């Protein structure tokens, strides 16, 4: 797929068909994700691929428990229908105090790589800065050591929806020159 097409065509997908996403395809996507930049090339990432129904349910439970009121229409139950869920973590001993940034740089590449392989996904956080209990619970579910921080939860599945066109802010409202807000 052409690069621009991958970027413009990627959408957040929360409905997946029953077709299994093979490990070989997931590893192609993860292989691309690890080309993301990281602080001092520390490559602090780990990718845990979850298919087990029981583990998925526990992740859903945690995400729903800590879902803020304004996001209630985006509850996490749909994760159960994903063929696999990738939990992106970052080892704080290799991330030079840039854990979230390092994790999200890989997650962003992963989302695009998934789309380029015909897969659907959606970005979900694996933590809340104001609520360390979320990361702690995910650590417990997946047996993650204390120095490793869960950053993102990225479901993978073949899309079973075509999202409505996305409302996008015009580029001219987002760009300024030399100083903030100067067009």
Positions 38 through 57 that interact with a copy of itself (CB under 8 A): 39-41, 43, 45-52, 55
How many residues touch a copy of itself (CB under 8 A)? 75
Residues 84-143 that bind a copy of itself (CB under 8 A): 89, 96-98, 100-101, 104-105, 107-109, 111-113, 116, 122-123, 125, 128-130, 142-143
Angle of CA points 5, 45, 117, to nearest 5°: 25
86: three-class secondary structure by DSSP:
strand
Angle of CA points 69, 98, 84, to nearest 5°: 55
Q: Does 61 bind a copy of itself (CB under 8 A)?
A: no
Work out which of 72, 146, 162, 171 binds a copy of itself, going by CB under 8 A: 171
Work out which of 19, 20, 22, 31 binds a copy of itself, going by CB under 8 A: 31
Work out which of 17, 32, 78, 160 binds a copy of itself, going by CB under 8 A: 32
Query: Rg for the chain (alpha carbons), in Å?
Result: 17
| Residue number, 10 or 15, with CB nearest to a copy of itself | 10
Q: Does 162 bind a copy of itself (CB under 8 A)?
A: no
Structure tokens at 77: 């139950």
Q: Does 144 bind a copy of itself (CB under 8 A)?
A: yes
The answer to whether the beta carbons of residues 134 and 62 sit under 8 Å apart is: yes
- Give the integer Cα–Cα distance in Å for 123 and 17: 18
| Residue 48 Cβ vs a copy of itself, minimum distance, rounded to whole Å | 5
Q: Other C-beta atoms within 10 Å of 169: how many?
A: 7
């Amino acid at each position: 797929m052409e690069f621009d097409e991958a970027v413009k065509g990627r959408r957040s997908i929360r409905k997946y068909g029953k077709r299994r996403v093979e490990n070989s395809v997931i590893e192609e996507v993860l292989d691309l994700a690890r080309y993301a930049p990281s602080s001092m090339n520390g490559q602090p990432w780990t990718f845990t691929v979850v298919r087990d129904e029981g583990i998925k349910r526990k992740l859903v439970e945690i995400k729903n428990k800590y879902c803020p009121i304004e996001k209630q229409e985006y509850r996490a139950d749909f994760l159960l229908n994903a063929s696999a869920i990738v939990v992106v973590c970052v080892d704080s001993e290799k991330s030079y105090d840039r854990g979230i940034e390092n994790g999200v740089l890989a997650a962003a590449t992963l989302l695009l790589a998934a789309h380029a392989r015909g897969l659907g996904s959606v970005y979900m956080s694996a933590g809340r800065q104001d609520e360390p209990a979320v990361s702690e619970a995910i650590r417990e579910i997946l047996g993650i050591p204390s120095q490793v921080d869960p950053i993102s939860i990225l479901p993978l599945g073949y899309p079973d929806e075509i999202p409505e066109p996305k409302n996008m802010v015009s580029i001219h409202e987002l760009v300024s020159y030399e100083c903030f807000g100067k067009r």
